[in-house]
Amino acid sequence: MKKAIKPVHAAVAVGVAFAFGVSSMWVLSQRSEPQGILGLALAHELETTGLCANSLRLNNASDRERLTRLLEDRLDDAVARATELTDQGAELSGAAPNLRDSIRRAADHYADTGKADEQRRAETLLARLSGNHE
């Protein structure tokens, strides 16, 4: 004699599978929270901004035209991308004074090299990041 699966047992099995699936999806969605990813991307761009601003300042002592051009291009890209990320709602989590200061150093570099538009963009970004922190 074959035993048939009773409807109650089948319903319980389906309910348990459904609950497991829903809870698994919830856990995965919490792990890949978009805000956390945006914040991480923002921190990366600000770190790059600091690296470029410091390198450019040190480079001003000698004439390395090609290096300056390459670093300035990357600096411009990093400031622009960080601005885009904050426009999308990215924030720095916790205290990150060095990352915020990277934008101030970028603004200083732009001021030193007479790039007023870039300086304003960096200063605007710095104000937004400082507002997010306080």
Q: With bands split at pLDDT 50, 70 and 90, how would you rate the model's confidence at 132?
A: low
The answer to whether residues 102 and 43 touch, using CB atoms and an 8 Å cutoff, is no
Residue with more model confidence, 36 or 4 = 36
- Which pLDDT score is estimated for 98? 85
Q: 8-43 burial string, b = 16+ CB within 10 Å, else e?
A: eeeeeeeeeeeeeeeeeeeeeeeeeeeeeebbebbb
pTM score: 0.60
pLDDT computed for residue 77 by the predictor: 93
- Give the per-residue pLDDT at 109: 95
Statement: residue 9 has pLDDT above 60: no
Residue 14 is encoded by which pair of tokens?
A: 């389906």
